Chain A
Amino acid sequence: MIAEIESHQIYAGTAGILFCLGLAGLFMCGHFLKKIIATKILGTSVFLLLVSLANRNQMEFADPVPHAMVITGIVVAVSASAFALALARRIWKETGRSTFEDNP
């Protein structure tokens, strides 16, 4: 039974669960930094799915298109996170707020 499971299936399934964890974190966590980390987990889950699906059929080399997509995705996601961090830090310095819930 267990021998039928391929490693890409394990990782693809993990990606699905990680996606939900990231989504839950984004909604449930209060602090800006944790929300930003949650978006990073969300992104990682998507990249994991792309790469594990590409891992299904190995010819002379693995499908390079998803790998390239993931590299692009990582850079884009980190840029967005850096921007979000800058906003969160500025809000903290200006108003002392670290969550959205403190809305006056």
Chain B
Amino acid sequence: MTLLDQVFDIVVCLLLLVLAWRTLSATHLYQSAIFFIAFGLTMALAWVRLAAPDVALAEAAIGAGLLGVLLVDSLRVFARPPETGRDSEPNKPESRDNDVTTSRRRPQFNSAVASVTAGAGCLFLAYVLVAAIHDLPDGGGLTAQAAENLSRSGVEHPVTAVLLNFRGFDTWLEVGVLFLAMLGIFCAGGLVGFSETENPDPPGPLLSWLIRGLAPVMILTAAYLLWLGKLAPGGAFQAGILLAAVGILLRLAGIPLMDRVPRTVIKLGLTFGFGTFLVFGIIALLADKAFLEYPSEWAGEVILLVEAAAAISIGFTAFAFFAYLNSRDQSTGNGDTAGQPRETNPSQ
């Protein structure tokens, strides 16, 4: 390792720490979000330096991309005063409630003491953690076992082999977590369903045209990423998020996708990935094999099938996160959605 490499690593790490600090200490939410996005980009550098291209792709697509879009969309919501004013829920328009983009706290009698204590506690914890991490013995990793079984896994890329075969159970549950988060968002959202975007100014004709042109290219890229996962970094999650990006862009371009889709299709789309895994798992159980065990001669094909289903579902779900949160008429009333249009309500 050259000195230059070391200096680079140290700079990246310091940058990470400073950006994390600024993200959390910024007074304005917008500043916070910008620092956070910069933090995400710096993390991408760190992943590359640590030879983790799969993680870099996933972090860029899901961590920075999807969550970034959701965060920015949420900033827009928090920047406006809430529209409720109903009698049942006392809405106190205090000064700090209007000052929504800042997170200044009321000057508190004991806030300085609390900060100092928390700071000291943090420093101590950081010291203990770093020392413990430094002293960790090296277990050697599971590389050897993975290499030994790679030929039987049906794919050539070790990370995909772990994700889809050796530890496919985790990945199944992870697709389940996405589905679950969607159900949670339905619960939190007041359950009105998808509708047009509340984006007040749609993009101009040129941008709109560009987005429409870009969409097929992005879908093809997603398919390529999916296929590539067998051999090299890539795979279902990255491909899925790319699909979601297509949907988000089209939606921002004023092309509604979700509000015209029949409820049944939405429900199938959300459960497709989680369900496909499950079906293969149950088939394996019925064939007197272990849950999620693939027949070794067909493992590659089964994995591609499962991955494709997962990618479609992930793309659909991730897009639904955005489309649902971004829908115009959600969240009115105190959980009482009676009398509201529920035709597109996807949970029914």
The answer to whether A57 touches B141, judged by C-beta atoms less than 8 angstroms apart, is yes
The answer to whether B177 touches A75, judged by C-beta atoms less than 8 angstroms apart, is yes
Q: Which residues of A contact B (CB under 8 A)?
A: 2-3, 5-25, 27-31, 33-34, 37-38, 40-41, 44, 47-49, 51-72, 74-83, 85-90, 92-99, 101-102, 104
The answer to whether B177 touches A76, judged by C-beta atoms less than 8 angstroms apart, is yes
* Residues 52-103 of B contacting A (Cβ, < 8 Å): 52, 54-55, 58-59, 62-63, 66-67, 70-71, 74-75, 77-78, 81-84, 89-93, 97, 100, 103
A–B pairs, 9, beta carbons within 8 Å? A11-B9, A25-B24, A31-B78, A34-B29, A55-B52, A69-B170, A79-B181, A83-B185, A96-B84
B86 to chain A, nearest CB (A): 9
Contact among A28, A57, A68, A71 for B118, CB-based, below 8 A: A28
The answer to whether B141 touches A63, judged by C-beta atoms less than 8 angstroms apart, is yes
Q: Given contacts A2-B6, A57-B138, A61-B143, is CB(A70)–CB(B55) below 8 Å?
A: yes
The answer to whether B174 touches A76, judged by C-beta atoms less than 8 angstroms apart, is yes
Contact among B129, B178, B325 for A89, CB-based, below 8 A: B325
Complex interface: stretch among B157-165, B201-209, B213-221: B157-165
Quick one: closest B residue to A2, CB to CB? Answer: B6
Q: Given contacts A48-B46, A67-B55, A78-B63, is CB(A24)–CB(B122) below 8 Å?
A: yes
The answer to whether B177 touches A90, judged by C-beta atoms less than 8 angstroms apart, is no
Contact among A62, A66, A74 for B62, CB-based, below 8 A: A74
Contact among B32, B58, B90, B159 for A104, CB-based, below 8 A: B90
Q: Given contacts A29-B103, A63-B141, A82-B70, is CB(A23)–CB(B133) below 8 Å?
A: no
Complex interface: stretch among B13-21, B259-267, B278-286: B13-21
